[in-house]
Amino acid sequence: TQLLEQSPQFLSIQEGENLTVYCNSSSVFSSLQWYRQEPGEGPVLLVTVVTGGEVKKLKRLTFQFGDARKDSSLHITAAQPGDTGLYLCAGLRGNTPLVFGKGTRLSVIA
Amino acid sequence: GAGVSQTPSNKVTEKGKYVELRCDPISGHTALYWYRQSLGQGPEFLIYFQGTGAADDSGLPNDRFFAVRPEGSVSTLKIQRTERGDSAVYLCASSLSMTSSYNEQFFGPGTRLTVL
């Protein structure tokens, strides 16, 4: 069983559209991270959310941590081809290892 | 740059052979992690070092997998008697420490292992 479920698994949209991807779990996390990974490279950290209900913005990307710290969402406004990649959420519970979801593969078409 | 580096970038081997994968972490990072990423999956934790010692090796799938970090810097992941199911991208990451909730890990580009 997957501890962190990400949806959708694949997403293909036109440039300029908005999108939201989700990361859900039945477990509580002390923090949750979002990474972006491009082909042939390792994941790169985008943001860490720690407090339930927290919202963080990174340019056109908005990240939200659920009130119960079990889920998170990533919203992209006016997507651009440069946003194409694999978006991974990862949860941390205390000092246990990071647990990753399977990722959402985003393709933004010009 | 001063990021995490991994060698080789690609490794093709035959079933039953022994392989070693190397990771050079960011200088000064005491924590080092190994992950395995199969096609269509997120990274899966294998082992974590704090300094020279393996603090958590609960993710190693079986005793064919072993990792060392003798001087607290470079780490080597060793796989004995490789099987086709071992084919994956092996990622290494490092961080300043494991103790912070923020625990920002910096990943290397990975080694793509193919077992024929």
Structural tokens at position A110: 């010009």
Number of A–B residue contacts, CB under 8 Å: 61
Question: Which chain B residues touch A40 with a CB distance below 8 Å?
Answer: 109-110
Rounded to whole angstroms, the Cα distance separating B40 from B25 reads: 26
Question: Looking at beta carbons, which residues of chain B come within 8 Å of A43?
Answer: 43, 91, 107
Query: Does residue B99 have a pLDDT over 90?
Result: no
- Asked if A48 and B109 come within 8 Å (Cβ–Cβ), the reply is no
CB-based contact B15:B68 (threshold 8 Å): no
**pLDDT band for position B57 (cuts 50, 70, 90):** very high
In contact, A90 and A99? CB cutoff 8 Å? yes
3-state secondary structure chain B: CCCCEEECCEEEECCCCCEEEEEECCCCCCEEEEEEECCCCCCEEEEEEECCEEEECCCCCCCCEEEECCCCCCEEEEECCCCHHHCEEEEEEEECCCCCCCCCCEECCCEEEEEC
Residue B41 pLDDT = 92
Closest by alpha carbon to A99, among A40, A42, A25?
Answer: A25
Looking at the domain that runs over B5-96, which CATH code has it been given? 2.60.40.10
Please state the domain count of chain A.
1
CA distance A53 to chain B (A): 17
pLDDT tens column, B12-23: 999 999 999 999
Using CB atoms, which residue from A31, A44, A100 is nearest to B102?
A: A31
Residue A1 binned pLDDT confidence (cut-offs 50, 70, 90): low
Q: Does residue B25 belong to the interface with chain A, where contact is any CB pair within 8 Å?
A: no
Residue B67 pLDDT: 97
The count of other CB atoms within 10 Å of the CB of residue B97 is 10
Set of chain B residues whose Cβ sits within 8 Å of the Cβ of A90: 42-43
Spell out which residues of chain B touch residue A92, defining contact as CB-CB under 8 Å: 101, 103
The verdict on A93 touching B (C-beta cutoff 8 Å) is no
Q: Which domain holds residue A49?
A: 5-109
Per-residue pLDDT, B2: 82
CATH number for the domain including A70? 2.60.40.10
- Find residue A50's DSSP bridge partners: none
Contact B109 A100 (CB under 8 A): no
Q: Is the pLDDT confidence value at A41 over 90?
A: yes
Contact A97 B59 (CB under 8 A): yes
Q: Which of B86, B85, B102, B103 is nearest to B94 (CA)?
A: B103
Lowest mean pLDDT of A42-56, B69-83, B85-99, name the range.
Answer: B85-99
